[in-house]
C-alpha cells in the first residue's frame, strides 16, 4: 500500500467531536493531537486529546482506564468526558498551564540552570505526586519536563502530572500483589533523557524506584548548566547513537552528575538506586529533605511553585548559624571560588608600578634594573641546572628560560602534592618565581601550573586532617613536642562499598528480625532461671563451704555473671531496636516504628527523638556543625588560641589555667583519657545528652533536649512523634518505680539495673564509639 493510500484512510480531524468544539491546537505528537475545546452546551473549556482509533499505540485507551484510579488526587487532572466519535478516540481533561519544559526554555534552559528554590519546589511536589500515584497502584513511567505542568487558576502554584499513556498498574488487580520482576527481554518504554538506568539501559521491569530515579535525574538536569551530558546531542536518530547515549548514561555516577550542586540531590539519586524492586520508597523523608534545603538557602519552607521565582531571603546571622550549608566533601573548592582564586593568581601584581620611560632618569634606572635581572637570571640558571640533574625529568628542553623551567618543575610537583599544606607552599613558590624578573605575561608554563593547581584543589582526595600525638624530644627529654600525623580520606565510592556487601544483607524480613528479638528474650529468661536455680544452692544447709564469708562472695559472683550475660543479650535487643530506627527491621514503616518504640522504651531510650537525631548523626558523622552527638569542643570553646604546631610545649612546674586546658585538650586522645572519657560519658553522658544536649551541637540554644517537641532538632510535623517517645519513657519509669515498690530496690537493682549498666557499656564503649582518628570537618 502506498503512502498516499494510507493517508487517505485517515480523514482530517473534524471541527466538532462529540459535544466538544475544537479550538487552537495545543500540540501534536506521535500518538495524536491535543486541542483546546469548548463544550457546546455548558461552555466548559477543556484540553481534548484526540487519537485515531486504529493507532498502533492506543494511549487514549490506556489512559481511560487509569484516570478513575487517580481522580481526586492533588495534582492529578480530572477526566470530564471520554469516548469514540467516528474514528476518533477522545479524552476531555482539565486545561492546565505551561509545562516545566516551556518554563525552563523561557529561562534560557537548558543552557542556564534553574534556580535552586524552584527546583526544590518541583522536587517536593513531584515526589508527592508520585506518592499519590503509587498509593493508588499506578506507575507513571514517562517522567519528563513536558509531562509536568502548572495548574489552572486558582491553582497556579500546584504542579500537575499529565500524559499517562505509558503508565501501568504495578499492583495486580486480581491478586492485590506487586507485579513480579522478570529477566525476560522487553521493549523500552519511556523517554531517553530521564528513564532510570535499570529500565533504559538494562531492560528491567519498572517499579516505583524507577519513577523516583527518573525524577531525580530531572531535578539534576534542571540544576546543571546545559543539562545532563547525554541530553546535549538531541534525540538519537540511529541505533548506534542510542547505544552511545545509553553507555554514557550507564557510566555516569551520582557523584559526577551532582558536582557543584547541593549534596541532597546526589543522596536522593543514590537512595533511589539502592531501593529493591518491590520496596516502598520513603516519600515523606525526601520531601522534608528538600524542604530543609530550601529553607537553608533562604527560599522559605513552602512547596508552592511560584513563577517567576522570588529572590531568596537573606538569613539573619543567628539563623544562618543554625542552618550551616552542607558540602559533599571537606576541602573541595567550588568552580566559582576556584575561578576567582586562579583569576587572582593570573592578575597578580608581580612588581611595583613601572615608571614611564619618557624621563631620561627613568630610562637609566630601567637599564640598571635590567642588568640586575640579567645577573639574577644567570644565577637562577646555575641553580636550575643543578636541580635538573637531580630530578627525574630526564631530557628537559634546554632552550626554555630559567623562569619557564622553574614553572615546569612547579607544575610537576603540584601534580604530586597530596595535601593542602604542600599546595600552599607551591603557590608561594609560584609567586616568587613570577616576581623573579620583570616579565608580567602569564606564559604557557604558568598556565600549566594553574591547571595542575586547579586539578589538585578540585580533587576530593587532597584533603588531609592533621592529628597530633605528644612525644618526648630525643635531644631534650624535658621537652614535649608535637608530632604530626595525617589522615587521608579514602577515595572509595559509596557504591563500591555497597557492592562489597552480599545482596541478601539488604533484604528486610520482619519474621527473621523478630526471631532475633524473640531468641534474645528466651536466652535472657533462661539466664534468669539458671541464676535463680543456682542461687537456691548457696545455702549452708545444702552446700558446705570452707568459710562463711564465701557464701556472700559466691552469691555476688553468681549475680555478677547474671548481670554481665543478661546485659550482653540485652545488647542484642538494642541492636534489633537500633535497626528499627534505620527502618531495617521490616518492609513496613509501621512495624519498624512500633517494635522500635517498644524495645527502646524498655531500654530507657526515647525512640522517635533518638531516631530523628540519629539519622542526622549518620548523615553528618564527624562534622563539627552538623553532627548531633560526639561533637568535641574546639580550642576556641576552651578559650585556647589556634594550635601552633611549630611551637614546643614545655611542661614546667607552674601550671596555669591555659596549661591545664592544653593538657586536658591533649589528654583527650590518650589511652587513659579515652578510658576516663568513656567512663564519664557512659555513666552520665548519655542521660546528660538526651536531657541537656551534652556532647551535642553547641550552637543549639539553651534548653535543647530530646523530650521537648519544640527543640531545634525537630520539625513541627514531628511533634506527635516526640510526645509518643516521651510517653514510652514515662511508662518505663513508672514500671521501674512500681517494681521497686513491689519487690524492693535491691531486687530491681540486681535483676534489671546491673544488666542495664552492662548494656550501656557494651554498645556504647565497644560497638558504637567513634574512633579518635576520625577527622572532623569544619562547616
Alpha helices (H) in 333-396, listed in sequence order? 335-346, 360-390
Return the minimum-mean-pLDDT range out of 29-38, 358-367, 405-414: 358-367
Cβ count near 168 (within 10 Å): 16
Model confidence over 120-166: pLDDT tens digits?
999 999 999 999 999 999 999 999 999 999 999 889 999 999 999 89
Model confidence over 39-79: pLDDT tens digits?
999 999 999 999 999 998 899 999 999 999 998 899 999 99
CATH architecture, range 100-322: Orthogonal Bundle (1.10)
Which single residue is written with the C-alpha cell 616568587? 432
The conformation of residue 14, written as its DSSP 8-state character, comes to P
Indicate which residues carry an active-site annotation. Answer: 142
Model confidence over 365-412: pLDDT tens digits?
544 554 554 454 444 444 334 333 333 334 444 455 677 778 888 888
Look at residue 304 in the predicted model and tell me its pLDDT. Answer: 94
CA distance 93 to 155: 16
Assigned CATH for 3-93: 3.30.200.20
108 burial type by CB count under 10 A (0-12 exposed, 13-18 middle, 19+ buried): exposed
> Residue 372: which residues within 8 A CB-CB, separation 6 or more?
none
CA distance 50 to 38: 14
Q: Collapsing DSSP states into helix, strand and coil, what is residue 148?
A: strand
Look at residue 682 in the predicted model and tell me its pLDDT. Answer: 58
Indicate the average pLDDT of the chain.
79
Convert 670-704 to b/e letters by CB count within 10 Å (16 or more is b). eeebeeebbeebbeebbebbbeebbbbbebeeeeb
Assigned C-alpha cell, 657:
589555667
Kindly state the average pLDDT of the residues 309-314: 71
Domain range annotation of the chain: 3-93, 100-322, 336-457, 503-767
> Residue 387: CA atoms inside 13 Å, Cβ hemisphere, count?
14
The conformation of residue 629, written as its DSSP 8-state character, comes to S
Q: Collapsing DSSP states into helix, strand and coil, what is residue 178?
A: strand
Backbone phi and psi for residue 149, each to the nearest 5 degrees, phi listed first: -130, 160
Q: Is the pLDDT of residue 248 over 60?
A: yes
Q: Is 294 annotated as a binding residue?
A: no
Q: What is the pTM of this model?
A: 0.47
3-93 and 100-322 share one fold? no
* 411 to 333, 405, 433, 446, 625: CA distances (angstroms): 19, 10, 12, 8, 36
CA distance 713 to 703: 12
Model confidence over 542-597: pLDDT tens digits?
888 888 888 899 999 999 999 999 988 988 888 899 999 998 899 899 999 999 99
Are the beta carbons of 585 and 510 closer than 8 angstroms? yes
The secondary structure of 446-468, three-state, reads HHHHHHHHHHHHCCCCCCEEEEE
Model confidence over 715-736: pLDDT tens digits?
888 999 999 999 999 999 999 9
> Residue 516: CA atoms inside 13 Å, Cβ hemisphere, count?
21
Amino acid at each position: 500500500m502506498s503512502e498516499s493510500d494510507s493517508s487517505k484512510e485517515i480523514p482530517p480531524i473534524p471541527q466538532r467531536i462529540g459535544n466538544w468544539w475544537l479550538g487552537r491546537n495545543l500540540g501534536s505528537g506521535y500518538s495524536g493531537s491535543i486541542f483546546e475545546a469548548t463544550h457546546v452546551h455548558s461552555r466548559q473549556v477543556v484540553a481534548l486529546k484526540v487519537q485515531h482509533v486504529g493507532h498502533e499505540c492506543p494511549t487514549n485507551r490506556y489512559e481511560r482506564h487509569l484516570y478513575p484510579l487517580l481522580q481526586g488526587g492533588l495534582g492529578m487532572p480530572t477526566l470530564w468526558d471520554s469516548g469514540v466519535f467516528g474514528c476518533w478516540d477522545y479524552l476531555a481533561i482539565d486545561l492546565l498551564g505551561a509545562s516545566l519544559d516551556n518554563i525552563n526554555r523561557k529561562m534560557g534552559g537548558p543552557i542556564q540552570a534553574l534556580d535552586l528554590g524552584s527546583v526544590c519546589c518541583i522536587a517536593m511536589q513531584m515526589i508527592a505526586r508520585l506518592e499519590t500515584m503509587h498509593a493508588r497502584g499506578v506507575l507513571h513511567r514517562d517522567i519528563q519536563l513536558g509531562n509536568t505542568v502548572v495548574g489552572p487558576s486558582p491553582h497556579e502554584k500546584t504542579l500537575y502530572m499529565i500524559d499517562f499513556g505509558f503508565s501501568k498498574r504495578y499492583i495486580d488487580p486480581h491478586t492485590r500483589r506487586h507485579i513480579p520482576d522478570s529477566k525476560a527481554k522487553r521493549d523500552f518504554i519511556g523517554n531517553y533523557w530521564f528513564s532510570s538506568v535499570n529500565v533504559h539501559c538494562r531492560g528491567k521491569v519498572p517499579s516505583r524506584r524507577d519513577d523516583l530515579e527518573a525524577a531525580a535525574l530531572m531535578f539534576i538536569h534542571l540544576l546543571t548548566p546545559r543539562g545532563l551530558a547525554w541530553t546535549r546531542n538531541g534525540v538519537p536518530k540511529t541505533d548506534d547513537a542510542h547505544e552511545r547515549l545509553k553507555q554514557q548514561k550507564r557510566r555516569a555516577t551520582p557523584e559526577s552528575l551532582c558536582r557543584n550542586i547541593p549534596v541532597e540531590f546526589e543522596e536522593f539519586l543514590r537512595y533511589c538506586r539502592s531501593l529493591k524492586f518491590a520496596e516502598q520508597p520513603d516519600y515523606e523523608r525526601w520531601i522534608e529533605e528538600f524542604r530543609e534545603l530550601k529553607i537553608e538557602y533562604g527560599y522559605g519552607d513552602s512547596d508552592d511553585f511560584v513563577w517567576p521565582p522570588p529572590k531568596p531571603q537573606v538569613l539573619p546571622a543567628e539563623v544562618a548559624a543554625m542552618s550551616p550549608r552542607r558540602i559533599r566533601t571537606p576541602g573541595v573548592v567550588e568552580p566559582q571560588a576556584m575561578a576567582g582564586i586562579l583569576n587572582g593568581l593570573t592578575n597578580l601584581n608581580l612588581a611595583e608600578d613601572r615608571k614611564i620611560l619618557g624621563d631620561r632618569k627613568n630610562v637609566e634606572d630601567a637599564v640598571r634594573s635590567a642588568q640586575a635581572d640579567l645577573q639574577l637570571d644567570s644565577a637562577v640558571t646555575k641553580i636550575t641546572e643543578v636541580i635538573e640533574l637531580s630530578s627525574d625529568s630526564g631530557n628537559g628542553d634546554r632552550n626554555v628560560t630559567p623562569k619557564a623551567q622553574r614553572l615546569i618543575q612547579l607544575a610537576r610537583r603540584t601534580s604530586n602534592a597530596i595535601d593542602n599544606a604542600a599546595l600552599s607552599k607551591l603557590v608561594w613558590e609560584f609567586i616568587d618565581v613570577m616576581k623573579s624578573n620583570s616579565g608580567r605575561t602569564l606564559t604557557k608554563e604558568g598556565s600549566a601550573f594553574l591547571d595542575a593547581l586547579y586539578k589538585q584543589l578540585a580533587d576530593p582526595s587532597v584533603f588531609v586532617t592533621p592529628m597530633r600525638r605528644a612525644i618526648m624530644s630525643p635531644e631534650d627529654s624535658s621537652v614535649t613536642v608535637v608530632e604530626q600525623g595525617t589522615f587521608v580520606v579514602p577515595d572509595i565510592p559509596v557504591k563500591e562499598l555497597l557492592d562489597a556487601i552480599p545482596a541478601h544483607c539488604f533484604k528486610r524480613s520482619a519474621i527473621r528480625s523478630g526471631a532475633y528479638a524473640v531468641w534474645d528474650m528466651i536466652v535472657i529468661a533462661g539466664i534468669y532461671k539458671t541464676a535463680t536455680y543456682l542461687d537456691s544452692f548457696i545455702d549452708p544447709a545444702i552446700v558446705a563451704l570452707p568459710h562463711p564469708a564465701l557464701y556472700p562472695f559466691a552469691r555476688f559472683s553468681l549475680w555478677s555473671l547474671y548481670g554481665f550475660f543478661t546485659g550482653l543479650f540485652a545488647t542484642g535487643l538494642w541492636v534489633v531496636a537500633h535497626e528499627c530506627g534505620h527502618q531495617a527491621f521490616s518492609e513496613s514503616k509501621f512495624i519498624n516504628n512500633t517494635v522500635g518504640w517498644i524495645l527502646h522504651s524498655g531500654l530507657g531510650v526515647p525512640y522517635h527523638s533518638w531516631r530523628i537525631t540519629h539519622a542526622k548523626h549518620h548523615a553528618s558523622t564527624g562534622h563539627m556543625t552538623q553532627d548531633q552527638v560526639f561533637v568535641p569542643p574546639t580550642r576556641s570553646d576552651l578559650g585556647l588560641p589556634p594550635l601552633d604546631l611549630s611551637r614546643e610545649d614545655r611542661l614546667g612546674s607552674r601550671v596555669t589555667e591555659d596549661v591545664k586546658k592544653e593538657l586536658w585538650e591533649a589528654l583527650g586522645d590518650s589511652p587513659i583519657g579515652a578510658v576516663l572519657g568513656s567512663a564519664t560519658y557512659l555513666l552520665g553522658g548519655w542521660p546528660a545528652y538526651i536531657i541537656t544536649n551534652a556532647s551535642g551541637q553547641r550552637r543549639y540554644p539553651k534548653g535543647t533536649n530530646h523530650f521537648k517537641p519544640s527543640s531545634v532538632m525537630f520539625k513541627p510535623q514531628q511533634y506527635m512523634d516526640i510526645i509518643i517517645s516521651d510517653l514510652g519513657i514515662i511508662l518505663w519509669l513508672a514500671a521501674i518505680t512500681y517494681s521497686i515498690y513491689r519487690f524492693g530496690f535491691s531486687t530491681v537493682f540486681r535483676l534489671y539495673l546491673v544488666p542495664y549498666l552492662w548494656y550501656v557499656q557494651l554498645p556504647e564503649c565497644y560497638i558504637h564509639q567513634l574512633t579518635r582518628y576520625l577527622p572532623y570537618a569544619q562547616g
